[in-house]
Structure 1
Amino acid sequence: MKGPRLRLSARVGRRLVLVVFCLLWAAPSGAGHELPFYPSYYPQEIRLEALPPAAAAPLLRSAKLHAYVGGDPFAGGRVPADIKPLESLGGYLVVSFNSASPVAASRESRCEAARRIARSLGAAPGLYVPHPYPVTPYHMDYLEHFDLAQSARQAYAAAPSGSSATLRVQAKGPLAERLVKAQAKSARDWDATVEDIDAEGLLATHGLSLDGWLGPPWLKDGWFHAYLLEAPGPARHAVEALYRRLVTGAFDSPIARIELERQLVSRLTAGCERVVLGYS
């Protein structure tokens, strides 16, 4: 009697397993992702094209273009409500001095001349932001330099107002030409040059790209931009020593790295050989 009962139980068990399997198989299942289509999930569907700003505007309005990198496609006009612009660092405005001019004779005279020039510049709302420190709010390491940047701004704000009329100032670049009110009449006799420095051009020969990787890691850091912008002058050896420690990782903690970066920028800006006046 045990044999038939066992065979019957096994047969019933197999039927129950088959029924459960069929029920599970018939249950609804998800398709893998929701209905909206996200181009970032399908890189092969992303297309990159070069477009002038005027051509990008109608495509953005009609949602045929997802993003545009470049100049303002709406030319300063009203931006549609469903489009959000993001600003990035365009460049710097710097002043450097003619080594043959008496103005360049000492650190004190250079720094004073830089402050006078900064206060004499015209206004360019939306195009230029006065900021006498090379690390700007657009840099990821700005908070690490915030107190130094604020001190520089306060020093320039507290400087006595005066005219740069006695200074012979040249202007190089469209922004500089717009901001410098009275330019030197002679290309030979000049004390200082106010110049536009394009951020992309500044980094053009220092970046590396390999299989989607962009480097070096400090390429977009403010301290590195300061190193490329500023003329170290007598502090060159100390500056180069700090720079080598930063790029070779010769520090034992993030705090030590930050301190090295701050020291580097402080040494670069101390002599006023070349002074950052602001950014665009």
Structure 2
Amino acid sequence: MESLGSFVIVLRNPAAPAPTDAASACAAVETVVGDIAGKQGFVFHPYPITLFHGDYLYYADLAEAAKARFLRARARTSAAPANLRVKADGALQHLIRPEWIAQGPEWDVAVQEVSAADLVASSMTSVNGWLGPPWVKAGWFHAERILADAIEDGDTRARADAMVGRIEASDYRDAVERINLQRDLVTTLTSSCRKLVVGYTVKRQYISVEFRDGIENIGFDSIEGLNSPMFIRTVKLKNFPWNGWLMVGIDKAPNAAWNPIAGFNDSFGRLLWSAVGDPALVPAPYDSGWMLNRVSDVQSNSGR
């Protein structure tokens, strides 16, 4: 089962001295982005909304334009500086030239991963039958969570905050104005080169479909993968359709409080709450909206 694994981020060291001009500020980051483009181990996609997001079509032209812009800049780049110091998460170090890898605490640019499932889970609440907020799987919301803290200009930050406020308050006339507002917000968030989303990784989770003891009818979430309410509500054992034992593996040890107020925010806790919780709505597995969990639209029988 394939879902969105993580966002790959390239950012400039905020503790480093501020460059004197915008070109110098962006040079190091754009050099790293251009160098890792096309390398194996991640999908080069220099835009914060991916094909795994249910609302990607609203931003497809902007995403393609961003990719073309970075590839053109890469073609114009001259010889890369040898003294660039790059800090990279362990799983991403293979993307960086060996001579660039920072050997000490000082660094110029960092390449990091942000887990997509954790980004969603950290924004969800498990209180009063609700998993909200309503936009928890929307691409603009993920872009805001990742990039908002990197906006350095005060006016730009105020403009982004105002757009977020309008979206969350439904302060727009119709769907067209809402989509344009969201596009403008993401454009504002990606205007700074201090932090850039340059791609993503694909998470692959494995199931057994062996004839007698496997499972079938499996639903999963495009961002959270198998650890989502949709999996628990759809998975069925082949050998025992209505009872029996389902063996589920979790890749991390439990460490949450496992209650609606203080916990259910680790991998095991989210799986547990998906099984025992009964919210009215659950996130749509392949979209950015929600779907009914236990209520259906049944036509009344006027003859009875």
Quickly name the TM-score band, shorter chain normalised: 0.5 to 0.7
Cα distance, 1:94–1:238 mapped onto 2, change above 3 Å: same
Instruction: Judge conservation of contact 1:132–1:278 (CA < 8 Å) in 2.
Output: yes
In structure 2, the residue matched to 1:119 is 34
In structure 2, the residue matched to 1:267 is 188
Q: What pairs up with 1:70-85 in 2 under 5 angstroms?
A: none
In structure 1, the residue matched to 2:71 is 157
Q: Looking at secondary structure, tell me which structure has more helix per residue.
A: 1
1-side partners of 2:37 and 2:182: how far apart? Answer: 32
TM-score (normalised: structure 2): 0.58
The amino acid across from 1:253 in the alignment is D
Instruction: Judge conservation of contact 2:49–2:143 (CA < 8 Å) in 1.
Output: yes
In structure 2, the residue matched to 1:142 is 56
2-side partners of 1:88 and 1:104: how far apart? Answer: 38
The amino acid across from 1:184 in the alignment is A
What secondary structure sits across from 2:167 in the alignment?
A: helix
2-side partners of 1:262 and 1:114: how far apart? Answer: 24
Cα distance, 1:273–1:207 mapped onto 2, change above 3 Å: same
1:219 paired to 2:133: no
* Residue of structure 1 aligned with 2:103, choices 185, 194, 199: 185
In structure 2, the residue matched to 1:232 is 151
2-side partners of 1:107 and 1:155: how far apart? Answer: 17
The amino acid across from 2:189 in the alignment is L
Cα distance, 1:156–1:228 mapped onto 2, change above 3 Å: same
Instruction: Judge conservation of contact 2:87–2:102 (CA < 8 Å) in 1.
Output: yes
In structure 2, the residue matched to 1:97 is 12
C-alpha RMSD of the superposition: 2.2
Q: Which has the larger radius of gyration?
A: 1
What secondary structure sits across from 1:200 in the alignment?
A: helix
* Residue of structure 2 aligned with 1:245, choices 166, 171, 186: 166
The amino acid across from 1:215 in the alignment is G
Pairwise CA distance, 1:260: 0.9
2-side partners of 1:103 and 1:181: how far apart? Answer: 25
Percent identical pairs in the alignment equals 36
TM-score (normalised: structure 1): 0.63
Cα distance, 1:106–1:270 mapped onto 2, change above 3 Å: farther
Instruction: Judge conservation of contact 2:12–2:29 (CA < 8 Å) in 1.
Output: no
What secondary structure sits across from 2:4 in the alignment?
A: coil
In structure 2, the residue matched to 1:30 is none
In structure 2, the residue matched to 1:35 is none
Pairwise CA distance, 1:200: 2.0
The amino acid across from 1:265 in the alignment is V
In structure 2, the residue matched to 1:56 is none
Cα distance, 1:122–1:274 mapped onto 2, change above 3 Å: closer
The amino acid across from 1:219 in the alignment is V
Instruction: Judge conservation of contact 2:55–2:138 (CA < 8 Å) in 1.
Output: yes
The amino acid across from 2:125 in the alignment is L
Cα distance, 1:104–1:89 mapped onto 2, change above 3 Å: farther
Pairwise CA distance, 1:104: 4.8
1:198 paired to 2:115: yes
What secondary structure sits across from 1:214 in the alignment?
A: coil
In structure 1, the residue matched to 2:251 is none
Which runs of no fewer than 5 residues in structure 1 stay unpaired? 1-85
1-side partners of 2:61 and 2:12: how far apart? Answer: 27
What secondary structure sits across from 1:270 in the alignment?
A: coil
Task: Please list the CA deviations of residues 129-183 of structure 1 after superposition, one character each: whole Å capped at 9, or x if unmatched.
Answer: 01111011111111111111111101111012442533211112x3322222230
In structure 1, the residue matched to 2:281 is none
The amino acid across from 2:151 in the alignment is P
Q: What pairs up with 1:18-37 in 2 under 5 angstroms?
A: none
The amino acid across from 2:161 in the alignment is E
Instruction: Judge conservation of contact 2:85–2:108 (CA < 8 Å) in 1.
Output: yes
